[in-house]
Amino acid sequence: MENSYRLAKEIFDKSKSFYDQQEKLYEMLAPLADLEALMLQEIKVEQQAYKENDASISLFIEPTQTSCGHLFNRIEIVEWLIRSSNQSCPVCHASLSLKELITV
């Protein structure tokens, strides 16, 4: 009986330790999720401005087109791909890589 109790306590302690580590990891990653959301919002605002006014392309610094056809400032889409946890277009979520970017 004593062995069973010790084994149960050991399992409980390990589970609690794992849970605590997982909580710490979530706390550390939360700011990255906030940054990714902010970057996505900025890109969406730019995309909306582009849709509303075709002349806005002149506002792009080194305009860059994705393989799915969306247009971004090169530095913004490159930063997005580097920092994003998934390598996809921020607008349509199509798979995307740095090699596929085309400067227009």
Mean pLDDT on 84-99 = 87
Token reading at 8? 């149960």
Token reading at 10? 């050991």
The three-state (H, E, C) secondary structure of the chain, written as one string: CHHHHHHHHHHHHHHHHHHHHHHHHHHHHHHHHHHHHHHHHHHHHHHHHHHHCHHHHHHCCCEEECCCCCEEEHHHHHHHHHHCCCCECCCCCCECCHHHCEEC
Q: What angle do CA 69, 40, 47 make, to 5 degrees?
A: 45
Q: Look at residue 19 and tell me whether its pLDDT is greater than 70.
A: yes
Q: Which pTM does this prediction carry?
A: 0.46
Higher pLDDT, 1 or 23: 23
CATH label of the domain that carries residue 44: 3.30.40
Instruction: Quick: pLDDT tens for 38-91.
Output: 788 888 877 776 665 554 455 677 889 999 999 888 888 888 888 887 888 888
Q: Look at residue 15 and tell me whether its pLDDT is greater than 80.
A: no
Is-contact 102 64, C-beta < 8 A? yes
> How many folded domains does the chain comprise?
1
Domain span holding position 26: 2-103
Higher pLDDT, 58 or 104: 104
